[in-house]
Amino acid sequence: MSGGAGPLLRQAAGQLNGGDFTGAWNSYLAAAQAEPGNDQAWLGLGLTALLRQDWAAVTGLADRRQAMTGDGFAWFHDVLTTAMGYGLGALVTELGRHLDPASPYVVSQVYNAACTRLLADDEDGAFVLLNRLKPLLVQRRDSLPIGPHDRFNIAWRQATLVEDGDYPDSLDPALLAERAAALPPLRVVGRWGDSVAAPFVLLAACDGKYLDRFGAGYLESAVRMGAGALVHLHVVEASADQVAAFSAHAENAGVPVVLSVEDANPWRSGAYYACARFLVAGQVKTMHGGRPLMATDIDIRLTRPLAELATLAAPFAFASFVYDAGMGPASRLPAVWTWFAGSDGDAMLESLRHVILSKLDVPWPHNWMLDQAALICARRWLRRTCPQAMTGEINRLDGRNFTDFMECHGDEDDKAELIRQAGQKPS
C-alpha cells in the first residue's frame, strides 16, 4: 500500500468495520485526494456511500469517475459486486428505488438486485427483475463494457443467456429443426461389457483434448464408485488416436462402457463442448432403454458411491444441486451433476435441448455458461408446464453439497486455456 494514501486507507477500513461511516467517508475521501487514481480509495468511497444510504453520492461518484477516467459504469458495478460479496444485497435493492430509470447504472443495479432475490430463494422475484433487465441490455449493448476482460462481462453473459420458463415454447420450430440438422450425428464407436443390469446411465461429454486429459481418470473413478452403472462417454472432435487410447481403458474397465463421437460443427467453442452432454442426453437415454440418466462433468473424480446419489435422486424427474453462493442465474444450478428420469425427465431434456439450440449462434465468449443458463430455464419450463413433475435439490435433502460426492481435478489455468483454445476457429 503506497505511502500517501496507505495510512488513510487503513484508518478508513477500521472506521468502516467499526460502523463509523462518516469517519470512513472522510478518510476515504482524503485518501482519494492524496492519490486521485487509487482504486481502493474509490471503492471504499462507493461502499461507504452505500452503507450511509447516500444514494446520490453513489451515482455522483460514478459520474465523476466517468468524467475523470471513462469507467464510471465499471466502477459502479464493482461497488455493487463488492457489496453483494459482503451480504449487502438489501442496500443494493434499495438503491434501485432512488435511481432514475434512464440512469446508465440501472442495468448493474437490476442485475445485482436479481442476484439478491436468487440468494434469498425467491426465483420468481429474480426473474421479474431479469425479464425487466433483458430489453435494457439490448438497448444499451453498445455502451456497456462486455468484452472478455471487462468487469461486466459475466453479468452480461448470465443475464442475456438465461430465459424464463415460457421461452422454450415460444421458439420457432423451423429454427430448431435447422439448427438440429446442422449438428453432426452421434456415432457409437465402441461398446464394452454387459449393460443389461445397469440401474442408470452415467453420461459425460467433452472434446478430444479433454478426453486425453481426463477420460482415463474419470473412467477409473466410475469403476470404483459406479456400482454397475453404464458409463457413456460422448466426445466432440476426437482423433482416431484419442479414440483408440480411451478404448483401451474401456476394454479393461470392468463396467459397461459406451463411447460415441461427433465431428466438428459450425458452433465450435468451449461452450458447445460444455453443452454437448445435454444436446445428446435425450438420444443417449433412449439408446439405453430409457433408464435414468446421470450427467456429470468429466474433470471430476467421484469420492462416494454413485448409488447414494441415485437413491437421493430416484423420486425426481429432474434433480441437481443448488449453488447457494452462486452469483447470478447461470450459476444457480451447477452442471457438474444432474439427473433426468421418466417421461417428465425426457420432456425436460427436450426443452433443455431446444434452449441450447436456440442460442448456438451466440459468439464466444458470450456463450460461456450457456449449459447452466439453459438448465434453470428448462427447470422453470418443467415446473410451469408439467406441475406434476417432481424436481429435487440434492443439497437441500440431507445437507451435503456436490463437493461431498466428487472433487474437481486439473489445474484451473490449464483447463481455462483448453477452453479458450476450443473457442477459437481452427486454422
Return the CATH number at 377. 3.90.550.10
Domain boundary among 140, 161, 182: 161
Predicted TM-score (pTM) of the model is 0.93
Co-location of 50 and 176 in the same domain: no
Domain annotation covers residue 250: yes
pLDDT (average), residues 89-93: 97
Is the pLDDT at 419 greater than 80? The verdict is no
- Residue pair 233/210 in contact (Cβ under 8 Å)? The answer is no
Report CA 147 to chain centroid distance, whole Å. 18
Query: What cell was used for 197?
Result: 443390469
> What is the rounded average pLDDT for all residues in the chain?
93
Is the pLDDT at 260 greater than 80? The verdict is yes
Is the pLDDT at 45 greater than 70? The verdict is yes
Co-location of 183 and 119 in the same domain: no
pLDDT in the model for residue 265: 87
Is the pLDDT at 243 greater than 50? The verdict is yes
Is the pLDDT at 319 greater than 60? The verdict is yes
- Alpha carbons 14 and 27: distance in angstroms, whole number: 10
- Alpha carbons 307 and 311: distance in angstroms, whole number: 6
DSSP strand pairing (337-340 vs 318-320)? antiparallel
Spatial CA neighbour of 379 closest among 424, 338, 411 = 338
pLDDT (average), residues 230-246: 95
Domain annotation covers residue 97: yes
Model confidence over 390-410: pLDDT tens digits? 999 999 998 999 999 999 987
- Alpha carbons 159 and 129: distance in angstroms, whole number: 10
Is the pLDDT at 416 greater than 90? The verdict is no
Which domain does 44 fall in, by range?
A: 6-161
pLDDT (average), residues 354-359: 97
Is the pLDDT at 425 greater than 60? The verdict is no
Segments of 195-279 assigned E as strands: 201-207, 230-236, 257-262
Query: What cell was used for 298?
Result: 468429466
Is the pLDDT at 2 greater than 70? The verdict is no
- Alpha carbons 104 and 351: distance in angstroms, whole number: 35
DSSP strand pairing (201-207 vs 293-296)? parallel
Residues of the chain with pLDDT > 90, as a percent, come to 84
Domain annotation covers residue 130: yes
pLDDT in the model for residue 343: 97
Co-location of 231 and 328 in the same domain: yes
| 38-52, 131-145, 220-234, 309-323: the lowest-pLDDT one | 220-234
Distances 87 to 83, 92, 107 between C-alpha atoms, Å: 6, 10, 20
DSSP strand pairing (257-262 vs 293-296)? unpaired
* Residue 281 pLDDT level (bands cut at 50, 70, 90): very high
Residues of the chain with pLDDT > 70, as a percent, come to 96
Cell numbers 430509470 label which residue?
Answer: 101
Co-location of 148 and 197 in the same domain: no
Is the pLDDT at 8 greater than 90? The verdict is yes
Co-location of 113 and 187 in the same domain: no
DSSP strand pairing (318-320 vs 293-296)? unpaired
- Residue pair 337/400 in contact (Cβ under 8 Å)? The answer is no
Domain annotation covers residue 254: yes
Co-location of 356 and 217 in the same domain: yes
pLDDT in the model for residue 230: 96
> 201 forms bridges with which residues in the sheet?
230, 293
Distances 200 to 142, 232, 306 between C-alpha atoms, Å: 47, 10, 10
pLDDT in the model for residue 1: 45
| 207-211, 312-316, 340-344: the lowest-pLDDT one | 207-211
Report CA 282 to chain centroid distance, whole Å. 21
CA within 13 Å, CB half, 310: 19
Is the pLDDT at 324 greater than 90? The verdict is no
The one-letter amino acid code at 251 reads E
Co-location of 98 and 200 in the same domain: no
Overall size of the chain counted in residues: 427
* Residue 424 pLDDT level (bands cut at 50, 70, 90): low
Domain boundary among 146, 161, 176: 161
- Alpha carbons 317 and 339: distance in angstroms, whole number: 8
Domain annotation covers residue 261: yes
Co-location of 135 and 205 in the same domain: no
Report which DSSP code applies to 215. Answer: I
Report CA 38 to chain centroid distance, whole Å. 32
- Alpha carbons 124 and 165: distance in angstroms, whole number: 10
Co-location of 144 and 194 in the same domain: no
138: domain CATH number? Answer: 1.25.40
Co-location of 156 and 303 in the same domain: no
Domain boundary among 161, 188, 221: 161
Co-location of 311 and 240 in the same domain: yes
pLDDT in the model for residue 426: 44
Structural domain tally of the chain? 2
Domain annotation covers residue 415: yes
pLDDT (average), residues 249-273: 90
pLDDT in the model for residue 414: 67
> 3-class SS at 293?
strand
Co-location of 239 and 264 in the same domain: yes
Is the pLDDT at 279 greater than 70? The verdict is yes
Domain annotation covers residue 77: yes
- Alpha carbons 308 and 400: distance in angstroms, whole number: 11
* Residue 421 pLDDT level (bands cut at 50, 70, 90): low
pLDDT (average), residues 280-303: 97
Domain annotation covers residue 325: yes
